[in-house]
Structure 1
Amino acid sequence: MSSISLSTALSGMSAANERLRASANNVANVNTPGYRRERIEAQTAEDGDGVTTQVVKVPEPGAKLETDVVEQQSATYAFVGNLRVLQTQIRAEGALLDIHV
């Protein structure tokens, strides 16, 4: 299995999971006075294979439920997309093994 596509898909799934976690935390704290929302920033990994994430607190306090709901949907789609890449890579590797056996 290609280590590049594997690490890229896995880091993408991890980044999507972090985005979902942060937006869920924002929704859970919507009524907490002075709570500052979390946002996830993603950067290309230093080795170029995948992404790294960092939690950033938004400077101004306050809830933005519409933003967090959209973020949850987007993160879910990103996770599923990366999962499909991983599944395709595994199926392709399995097909190659079947040919060589």
Structure 2
Amino acid sequence: MTTLSSTALTGVNAAQTQLNVSAHNIANVNTPRFKRQEVTLIAQTQGGVQTSVESADMTGSALASDVVTQLQAKHAFLANLAVFKTHDRVAGALLDQSA
């Protein structure tokens, strides 16, 4: 069984991969014959997510798509960070002997 923290960590890592790939795509938007990269998220049976990065089939940019991906990745990162903070707060409350 996968722990809550390790599941959230896979989400943080997936969001970071999405940010890196979209930044790479945006940085190369004016590069001739550039093939942008795309991230595929794959749900794991035990919980969490895995990423796969592949080159797009066609050359050219998709600037709007990459900007939206950055925003989605930012929100996914923040959501998984909230899981870590909540888990830490709950664990602290369980271990607090003074309450």
Shorter-chain TM band? over 0.9
Letter in 1 for 2:32: P
Moved beyond 6 Å, runs of 4+:
none
Deviations 1:14-48 (A, max 9, x none): 000000000000000001111111111111235x1
Aligned residue for 2:6, secondary structure, equals helix
**Aligned equivalents of 2:97 and 2:39: distance in 1?**
43
Cα distance between partner residues in 1 of 2:25 and 2:86: 33
1:98 maps to 2:96: yes
Match of 2:87 among 81, 89, 97: 89
- Give, in angstroms, the shift of residue 100 of structure 1: 7.6
TM-score normalised by the chain length of structure 1: 0.90
**Could you tell me which residue of structure 1 aligns to residue 41 of structure 2?**
42
Secondary structure of 1:30's aligned partner: coil
Are positions 1:67 and 2:78 aligned together?
no
Offset from partner CA, 1:38-70 (integer Å, 9 cap, x none): 111111235x13111110111000011111111
TM-score (norm. length: structure 2) = 0.92
CA–CA distance in structure 1, aligned partners of residues 12 and 41 of structure 2: 12
Mind listing any 5+ residue stretches in structure 1 that lack a counterpart?
none
Instruction: Give the gaps of 5 or more residues in structure 2.
Output: none
- Percent identity reads 42
